[in-house]
Amino acid sequence: MTTGSEAPTPVLDVIAPTAGQVIDLADVPDPVFSAALVGPGAAIDPERSANTQALAPVTGTLVKLHPHAFIIRTSDGAGILTHLGIDTVQLNGDGFQLHAAEGDEVAAGAVIVSWDPATVETGGRSPIVPVIALDASTEALTVRHEPGPIKAGDVLFQWSR
């Protein structure tokens, strides 16, 4: 990623990993995410489709890949967590298909996981997808999208680096 010809980007665009409705992080039904304990961000209530795709919200290294959550770290060290539903660690990977491997270099928009949010919901869990700027200060983040419908790949928030 270091071509040497480009100045470092001062603002990191973080794109929506999936289509759905943007909601405030404060409205996520989980105290860790809603209080921004691991960082600020935004959340998406995903479309209910049997083969919903979760895309890489930024370009970087896939430093953590769980079936229900993944973290991408950019070349300048920004970590973005995408979490597919609430309490979904309890599903032990059931219903999640991985399309990448931990350690992969991925481009923003690459398919990382596919899953069915409706199955998560019928299992009694919230299918909401928090997208978190890990360890970022609240002031460094600008949410670019009002609550409401968003397409996968649209800019969700920007992180001033």
Partner 1 sequence: MDKAEQILAALGGTDNIVEIEPCATRLRTEVHNSSLVDEKALKAAGAFGVITSGSVVQVVVGPEADTIATDIEDLM
118 φ/ψ angles, rounded to the nearest 5 degrees: -65, -35
From candidates 66, 144, 145, 161, binder to partner 1 by CB under 8 A:
66
CA 140/CA 78 separation, integer angstroms: 12
The CB-of-32 to partner 1 minimum distance in angstroms stands at 5
66 included as an active-site residue: no
From candidates 69, 78, 120, 152, binder to partner 1 by CB under 8 A:
69
Residues 23-52 that bind partner 1 (CB under 8 A): 31-32, 35, 37-38
Count the neighbouring beta carbons within 10 Å of the beta carbon of residue 142.
Answer: 11
User: What Cα–Cα distance (Å) separates residue 160 from each residue in 5, 13, 55?
Assistant: 21, 9, 21
- Under the rule (CB under 8 A), what is the footprint of partner 1? 31-32, 35, 37-38, 63-64, 66, 68-71, 79, 81, 83, 89, 132, 134-135
